[in-house]
Each structure stands twice: as structure tokens, then as C-alpha cells.
């Protein structure tokens, strides 16, 4: 088990996954990590479980 920082509740947790990459035109972007409870609460899915092709919406 890997403990990582959960961006959403602001503490370390188990099974934290990358859920979003913030892309900004200027300045550094950011990556948001969420633990399972935060993902469930906010309806977030880990990025690696999402299809890479986002064009067909």
C-alpha cells in the first residue's frame, strides 16, 4: 500500500490515485490526487481508468 497526499481532504491516505491534471496556459499546472472516499464523494475516477481518447463526446 502506498500512502500519498490526497489533494481533496488535505492529508495522506491509502490508495490515492491521480484523478485530474490541471492544464494552465501560464504558470505551472497541477495534478490532483484523491483517496477512495474523496473519489466516491466527488464522483471522480482515476485517470488511468478513463479512456485516453476524449474526443468522442
Nearest CB to Zn ion, comparing residues 40 and 50: 40
Q: How far is the CB of 20 from Zn ion (least distance, A)?
A: 13
Instruction: Give residues 33-52 in contact with Zn ion (rule: CB under 5 A).
Output: 35, 38
3/14 Cα distance (integer angstroms): 5
19 near Zn ion, rule: CB under 5 A: no
* Residue 6: closest CA among 30, 34, 29: 34
CB atoms within 10 A of CB 32: 16
Interface residues with Zn ion (CB under 5 A) are 6, 8-9, 35, 38
Amino acid at each position: 500500500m502506498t500512502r500519498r497526499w490526497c489533494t481533496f481532504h488535505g492529508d495522506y491516505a491509502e490508495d490515492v490515485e491521480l484523478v485530474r491534471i490541471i492544464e494552465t496556459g501560464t504558470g505551472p499546472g497541477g495534478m490532483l490526487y484523491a483517496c477512495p472516499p474523496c473519489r466516491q464523494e466527488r464522483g471522480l475516477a482515476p485517470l488511468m481508468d478513463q479512456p485516453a481518447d476524449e474526443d468522442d463526446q
